[in-house]
Amino acid sequence: MTTVLIRLMLLFGGLSMLAFGGGSGVLPDMQRASVDHYHWLTNKEFLDMFAISRAQPGPGSLIVVLIGLKAAGLTGAMLSFAAMFAPPSVLVFAVARFWHRAAATAWRQVVERALAPVAVGLTFASGLALMRQTEHGLVPWGVSAISAALFSFTNINPLLLLAGGAAVLLLAGT
């Protein structure tokens, strides 16, 4: 059991620092290690767990909690969570403190002006990429476009949009 815990910690701790751009990039490595290499779970279970973690509020990389739970029970789940989330968080914290101290400096103003257009581009990119990844038929495409427009130009509560989108697809029977 201790061996499994150490393996979980090393696997997810290592992958956490490679998870650039969110975390979906390390999913194939996670699958290879936990299914093919360590045999903690079957491929079907991995895919089900992926769907479950995607349906959760919160980050998609919470799949590590489920992998840990299957591999080594509650201890495995908590340890996997810590291994996946602690290292990047410590790094962000260090950057944030440094950033905070640089509040009035000229270089931070320049960096902020440089980051802004990149960040807006990334926001659009994540929407566009999701649109291409998922099988987007005409109905979901319309739902995306209409909710983008409503969210951009009105103060509508996004929960209403989510409920509406779910209802539309239920009725459309896709």
Partner 1 sequence: MGNRATGQASLWSLFTSFVRIGMAAFGGGLAAWTRREIVEERGWLDDRQFLSGYALSQLIPGATNVNLAVFIGAQMRGLAGAVACFLGLTAPPVLLTLVIGYFYLHSQSHATGAWVSPVLAGMGAVAIGLSLGTGVRLGRHIRGMIPIAVTTIVSLSIGVFDYSLVHVLLVMMPLSLVLAWATRSR
**Nearest residue (CB) to partner 1, 10 versus 119:** 119
Work out how close the CB of 57 gets to partner 1 at its nearest, in angstroms, rounded to a whole number.
5
Nearer to partner 1, 6 or 116 (CB): 116
Q: How far is the CB of 119 from partner 1 (least distance, A)?
A: 4
Question: What sign does the dihedral 150-154-159-164 (CA atoms) show?
Answer: negative
Is the Cβ–Cβ distance between 11 and 68 less than 8 Å?
A: no
Question: Of 80, 90, 68, 64, nearest to 10 (Cα)?
Answer: 80
Closest distance of CB 17 from partner 1, Å? 5
Please say which residue, 6 or 163, places its beta carbon nearer to partner 1. 163
Local structure of 42: helix, strand or coil:
coil
What's the closest the beta carbon of residue 49 comes to partner 1, in angstroms? Answer: 7
Query: Which residues are CB-neighbours of 88 under 8 A, at least 6 positions away?
Result: 16, 17, 19
- Nearest CA to 19 among 67, 53, 59? 59
State which residue, 6 or 96, has the beta carbon closest to partner 1.
96
